[in-house]
Amino acid sequence: MTDIVRTEPMPLAVPMSASAKPARAVSKQPTWLVRWWRSQSPTRQNRFALIAPLAAVAVFLMAIVASFGYLRLEEMSREQEAVQRDVEYAQQRLRLRLLERQEQLMRLAADINNKQIDTEDFVTQAESLVRQYPELQSVVWIDAKKRIRVSYTSPSMPGLYVRLSGDMLRHQETDTVYNLVRDVRQPMYSVPFSVPTGIGTQTMSVLQVQVPLADGARFGGVVMGEYQVDGLMRYGVPAEITAKYAVALLDDKNRLLSGNTSPKRNAAVRLLPWVQQDTEYEVPVSPLGNSLVLRAEAYRASLGVIGSALFWLVLVLSLMTAWLLVTAWRHTRRRIQTQAALLQETSFRRAMENSMLTGMRALDLQGRITYVNPAFCQMTGWSEAQLVGLTAPFPYWPEDDREMLAARLEEEISGRTTPGGFQVRVKHRDGSIFDARMYVSPLVDGKGVQSGWMTSMTDITEPNRVRKQLSESYERFTTVLEGLDASVSVAPLGGDELLFANKMYRLWFGSKSKEHLSLVEQAGRMDSGIVQPDFKDSTSGDSVDSLAGLPTEEITAARSENAEIFIPDLNKWLEVRSRYLNWTDGRLAQMVIATDITPRRMAEDLAAQQAEKAQSASRLITMGEMASSVAHELNQPLTAISNYCTGMVSRIQGGQINQEEMLAALEKTARQAQRAGQIIHRIRSFVKRSAPNRTESDVSQLVSEALELAEIELRRRNVRLTHYLAARLPRLMVDPILIEQVLVNLLKNAAESIDNANRPSNRRSVELRAIPKQIDGVGEAVEFTVTDTGQGLAPEVMQRLFEAFFSTKAEGMGIGLNLCRSIVESHQGRMHAENLYNGDQVTGCRFSFWLPCQPVAYYGSRTGSFSAVQA
């Protein structure tokens, strides 16, 4: 380690001249400034001694700049006053010239009012005025009807603008001023406006003054004089003004009418303090007011501060002096900063070594310890004084490892070190042993010569313990996965590598990733509602898309999905669950868990068969309960057939019947036979056992066939049946026999409830309604409602209404409503019941259920049977 000697900068000393004599001791106390100076450190005195000249130069430079600035402001103020004075003088000249022309026009108007001149005299006087005063371009006599009686126009005016006798006023501004003069009976000026010159698109600015005429007490017209604004500028503004300034005439919108303006500087440039500012002044020209403004701007002739040689000389000298002082100050400051940085770096390195948890040890070329840091001492339990200077064997070597550590030390000294370090055991002073890893690197001095070896030692006891625990945890985790009765596999997205497969996966599918991707592909088709169990044999040549199973939405929005698929090769039903996860190397992977659910599917198939038998038995029970009603219904057409046959036999025997009457009687007999046959056919179709068959069915046909069966029971019980079907009902994908069974059961229960309540004839009615409905999460559906006027349902009955084998009838089996709800829910619909009230009194009951128009597809083969798929 290089030794550092801290040197304090010496204060600047003022040498004493040889002729100087020591001063006599006086009792005068030093002033406060001397005391303050003596209280400062030498470093601060040097700093103040360097900064004082720089501050004096800066103050001197600021004083010079302030003086030149003050002089420049005085000069600009005088220039502004001169411009203002000259512009006001020019404005007075223009005003007097306009007032003189106005007086002359007023005298001409007075002559017209007094009938002293006619049109020829008017032209003569107008021509004289125009020739004498060039800015006056035309004089026009306009009568009270805005018609021009006579006018004279200067030859310099464009031909397009010449007014002829008998013409009407053409310009809108002229007409506006004319109306104003007629109202106030005073001379009025117009706003300057532009007229075409007839040369291309060129225009010229014109100004009008109108003087009223009087015909007795009535308004007799006006005398209008027109000025060319360029003429007013040329003949009204003195030449000495236009020579000194850029003079211009502007309108009320600051548009240039005549004259010229000096080019404007950029706004940013004009803000600079040393740039000469524009000196200008503007004033409105009376009697026109703000409609005509006279502006003058002084030409920039002064060089200002930029042209002052004295200013630049003082500025350059001040900057050179300041630069020299700053250079000397920076050099001294760099020396002080270098010394402070060296001390700070030394302190920093020492603090860093003391705070490190890694032990540092330095050896010379003979293997003697020359340096150890506090961390090394803390790890071994020996102090720096006890370790520095020792040679092998070192006291922190365990007795059992001394030969191995001595060999390692020889390799280290000879330069045969391992780049990745090596692991050793280290003994603490108290006898405890811990694991450590050592790294060795050459120790090179400031001249580039190797002087020894530097060794860093890190305690790895805790990392080794954590690594061992992780290994044991991995072994336990693998044991659990291997013991599962489900297949677990993980594969990266877009790759053919199988990252993980447990024992059950290897038993079923082997060790290839193709079966993993096939499971994902089939599960994806199950999610889409497409049941295609087309798992290919692993020995076949068919390829599977490597991107099968990728989600179409954002990966972060993907969630675990379940599907049930059938694997022909295994003759098993599998429940496949998949989800996305980040693998240990950061890759996005997909985990698939396949569970054997074959026993469950067989149980479900058996339950479906039992449910089908129960539904068939329920229909038979319903027909058994309606046997008397069916017998009564069949007795009517059979009795009619017997009567028709008996009557025809009697009339044939008596010879009282002809062929037409015979045909009519036979037709009536045939219709009654057809009626009886339809009743028997409908009952047979209703009770016949058949496999579940969902077809696209018409709601009106479902309701019509159910009403045919239910009306038999309702007529026997003297119950009136009404129904309502909404227009344009959608078609349903249902099993029509099962839905008819639900409707017949509900209608029969409604009739029994009315009969048990002993309702009078006017209150014995049942209503069946079918209307479209929108269901949240399902979409379009059809709702069926059966409403009766019976005694309703008790609260305790409402709670157990759809419970199996629960019935309020003495002879009931309690499976009717339970089967109805099962049928509705198997079609992915819902059923519920509610009482109807009139105040506190129950007036009936309403059963309703809805069926979706497009049922959501189930995973797997929910709509089929296990045996059918297995076959």
Share of the chain above pLDDT 70, in %: 78
Q: Which residue has the higher pLDDT, 188 or 198?
A: 188
3-state secondary structure of 414: helix
Angstrom CA distances, 539 to 446, 487, 536, stand at 71, 20, 8
Cβ-contact 786, 747 below 8 angstroms: yes
**Beta carbons within 10 angstroms of residue 664's beta carbon:** 12
Q: Is residue 630's pLDDT more than 90?
A: no
pLDDT tens digits, 244-254: 888 888 888 88
Q: What is the mean pLDDT of residues 1-29?
A: 42
Query: How buried is residue 285: exposed, middle or buried, by Cβ count under 10 Å (0-12/13-18/19+)?
Result: buried
Lookup: tokens for 435: 């694991």
Q: Is residue 232's pLDDT more than 90?
A: no
Using pLDDT thresholds of 50, 70 and 90, give the confidence band for residue 686.
low
pLDDT tens digits, 710-768: 787 788 888 999 999 998 899 998 888 788 878 888 888 888 888 888 888 888 999 99
Q: What is the mean pLDDT of residues 802-807?
A: 66
Q: Is residue 23's pLDDT more than 50?
A: no
Q: Is residue 655's pLDDT more than 80?
A: no
d(Cα 17, Cα 857) in Å, to the nearest integer?
A: 114
Q: Is residue 65's pLDDT more than 60?
A: yes
pLDDT tens digits, 299-327: 765 555 445 676 677 778 778 877 877 78
* Nearest alpha-carbon partner for 847 in 798, 808, 810: 798
Query: How buried is residue 806: exposed, middle or buried, by Cβ count under 10 Å (0-12/13-18/19+)?
Result: middle
Amino acid at 327: T
Residue 782 is predicted with a pLDDT of 94
Residue 752 is predicted with a pLDDT of 86
Within 461-530, strands assigned E span 486-492, 500-501
Amino acid at 838: N
Q: Is residue 347's pLDDT more than 70?
A: yes
Residue keyed to tokens 């003495």: 810
**Beta carbons within 10 angstroms of residue 668's beta carbon:** 14
Cβ-contact 581, 531 below 8 angstroms: no
d(Cα 206, Cα 161) in Å, to the nearest integer?
A: 11
pLDDT tens digits, 808-867: 664 544 456 777 888 888 888 999 999 999 888 888 999 999 999 876 544 333 333 333
Using pLDDT thresholds of 50, 70 and 90, give the confidence band for residue 611.
low
Share of the chain above pLDDT 90, in %: 9
Lookup: tokens for 517: 């991707």
Q: How many helices (H) and strands (E) does the chain have?
A: 22, 27
**Beta carbons within 10 angstroms of residue 558's beta carbon:** 15
Lookup: tokens for 204: 């010229």
Cβ-contact 123, 96 below 8 angstroms: no
For residue 701, what are the contacts with CB-CB under 8 A and spacing of at least 6? 736
Angstrom CA distances, 262 to 258, 299, 300, 871, stand at 13, 7, 9, 104
| CA dihedral over 608, 614, 617, 623, signed as positive or negative | negative
The per-residue DSSP string of 115-172 comes to T---HHHHHHHHHHHHHH-TTEEEEEEE-TTSBEEEEEE-TTS-GGG---TTPBP--H
Residue keyed to tokens 């001197």: 60
Q: Is residue 443's pLDDT more than 60?
A: yes
